[in-house]
Amino acid sequence: MISERQLRILEAIISDFIDTAQPVGSRTISKKYPLGVSSATIRNEMADLEELGYLEQPHTSSGRVPSDLGYRLYVDSMVNFHSIGIDEKEIIQSMLRNRIIEASDLAKQAAKLLSEFTNLVAIVTIPKFNKCKLANLKLIKVSDTRVLLIMVTDTGIVKNIQLAMSYTDQFILDKVSDTMLSFLSGETIEKIDVRSILKLKDKLQNLGTFVDYLIPILRDALKSLNGTEQYAEGLSHILSIQEFADSEKAKVIFDFLRDPKNLEIFLDEISSDQLSIKIGSEIGIDSLDACSIISSTYKVDGKSDGKIIVLGPKRMDYGNVVSIVNYISNTLSDVFSGINL
């Protein structure tokens, strides 16, 4: 078992390391932190902490560096998750409530705020469109060769897809979209497949040819709705972080984040009901071994959630980041739920 004193020493070491990025030695701790014991004692405790797996030594005769386990303990039992200041709150509120009504803009704005307040990389997803229920659907002719398919979810998110069609009569389009809506309304969008679209044929037998023409186009359009839309901001902050001063190391992170699919797997795994902190190897992704990820979810009307994540070096100010993630996550829930008032 770990003693109270060891805990305080570990805390001092991690704080110091977060500040300085340098392996920390026993003398530094005894001088900078009022623990009331000599460096020799700390030295002994540090040896024990290393044996317990909370610290690591880059090489003999260098100071100690926290291990993933050390950070874990630090986060679980030492970090002070204070609430953010009133000023920050006001800025966030005004930026997110400032007449934004597109889900994507809102996510982008939230990611921007997150990355500015944390100086780290922030990613915000919007609720998986696929999982939402269809509330409205319209086909609008925009030109002789194009039709706009508009879908609105019950959570108020609007999605437009352009369809290339050479057969576009608004009267027919209205008829088709009304009919589709009548039997698809309330369905989650992922459930809308060829089979359900085929009902169109039954209901609109007089438009058989048109429906035959439309179905493959619709199918392709719906297929394109897979995947989570991610909005990442602050990527360049990576480049200011000591751990990634070498471009090659930064590139690993960039390359990972470039393909949204990479993160999607991770996003699907994180629990959807509370804030999560993953440290280094806990993330389970080799290229992110040097990072920590703090993630949270927000809900729209209590359902169907979007995700917020902040990615940075393990050596980050967990207390601060957590409180910002929390606040923005809550604000986003509110704003999203309010959008379709």
Partner DNA sequence: TGTTAGCACTCATATCAATCGAGTGCTAAT
Partner DNA sequence: ATTAGCACTCGATTGATATGAGTGCTAACA
Residues in contact with a second copy by the rule CB under 8 A: 99, 101-102, 135-136, 138, 140, 142-143, 145-146, 148, 150, 152, 156, 158, 160, 162-164, 220, 235-236, 239-240, 244-248, 250-251, 254-255, 258, 340-341
CB 114 within 8 A of CB 324: yes
Is the C-alpha dihedral spanning 92, 93, 94, 97 positive or negative? positive
Residue 316 CA: distances (Å) to CA of 40, 228, 233, 320: 29, 27, 17, 9
Bridge partners of 49? none
Nearer to a second copy, 20 or 240 (CB): 240
User: What, of DNA, a second copy, none, does residue 102 touch, CB below 5 to 8 Å by kind?
Assistant: a second copy
Nearer to a second copy, 187 or 268 (CB): 187
User: What, of DNA, a second copy, none, does residue 57 touch, CB below 5 to 8 Å by kind?
Assistant: DNA
User: What, of DNA, a second copy, none, does residue 259 touch, CB below 5 to 8 Å by kind?
Assistant: none
Q: How far is the CB of 102 from a second copy (least distance, A)?
A: 6
User: What, of a second copy, DNA, none, does residue 245 touch, CB below 5 to 8 Å by kind?
Assistant: a second copy
User: What, of DNA, a second copy, none, does residue 251 touch, CB below 5 to 8 Å by kind?
Assistant: a second copy
Q: Which residues make up the interface to DNA (CB under 7 A)?
A: 5, 22-28, 36-41, 43-44, 46-47, 50, 57, 59-64
CB 211 within 8 A of CB 204: yes
H/E element holding 198? helix 194-203
For residues 257 and 200, give the distance between their C-alpha atoms in angstroms, rounded to a whole number: 41
User: What, of DNA, a second copy, none, does residue 246 touch, CB below 5 to 8 Å by kind?
Assistant: a second copy
40: Cα separation from own chain's centroid? 44
Nearer to a second copy, 250 or 325 (CB): 250
Q: How far is the CB of 143 from a second copy (least distance, A)?
A: 6
- Nearest Cα to Cα of residue 329 among 302, 301, 306: 306
Tokens representing 199? 């009902």
CB 290 within 8 A of CB 243: yes
Is the C-alpha dihedral spanning 212, 213, 214, 217 positive or negative? positive
Residue 203's Cβ-side half-sphere holds a number of Cα atoms within 13 Å equal to 15
Cα three-residue angle 244-245-248, rounded to 5 degrees: 70
Nearer to DNA, 63 or 70 (CB): 63
Q: How far is the CB of 56 from DNA (least distance, A)?
A: 11
Q: How far is the CB of 162 from a second copy (least distance, A)?
A: 5
Nearer to a second copy, 205 or 224 (CB): 224
Nearer to a second copy, 91 or 163 (CB): 163
User: What, of DNA, a second copy, none, does residue 262 touch, CB below 5 to 8 Å by kind?
Assistant: none
| Secondary structure letter of residue 241 according to DSSP | S
